[in-house]
Amino acid sequence: MFREFPSVRQEPDSRRRWFESADLDLVVWYDADGSISGFQLIHHSPEGGRALTWRSGSGISHHVIDAGDRLLGKLSPVLVPCEAPAVPDLVARFAALAGSLDRELAEFVGSRLRAARR
């Protein structure tokens, strides 16, 4: 089940929502008019964290999350491009949790994920 973080830092002229579950995190960005401008589905694999990002105008991208762990200290995490994950697996994992989201949001994210697996 996804649970929404109640207090997420916001940027001017946009809105962000963040949901978490034991398996996936979902971050959704909205334009000032309330339309979805992007989302990021963060999932874990044996190699570490990965992120599938959809942005209006540019579509889907895939990244490994470099946690920033270094010998001399901790740096900020960054996204590093990588090969596409097993998208059908992500679609199934998301679908199992989607019932806990707003219907419109679940359908929006689900449709973009299904399109990415083609």
DSSP, residue by residue, 6-73: S-----TTEEEEEEE-SSEEEEEEEETTS-EEEEEEEEEETTEEEEEEEETTTEEEEEEEE--EETTE
pLDDT value of residue 82: 66
- 45: region left, alpha or beta (phi > 0 left; psi from -120 to 50 alpha): beta
Rounded to two decimals, the pTM is 0.81
Contact status, residue 27 vs residue 39, Cβ threshold 8 Å = yes
More confident residue, 116 or 106: 106
Structural domain boundaries in the chain:
3-112
Band of pLDDT at residue 10, cut at 50, 70 and 90: confident
pLDDT digits (tens, 9 = 90+) for 37-64: 999 998 876 666 788 889 998 888 887 7
More confident residue, 55 or 68: 55
Mean pLDDT over the full length of the chain: 83
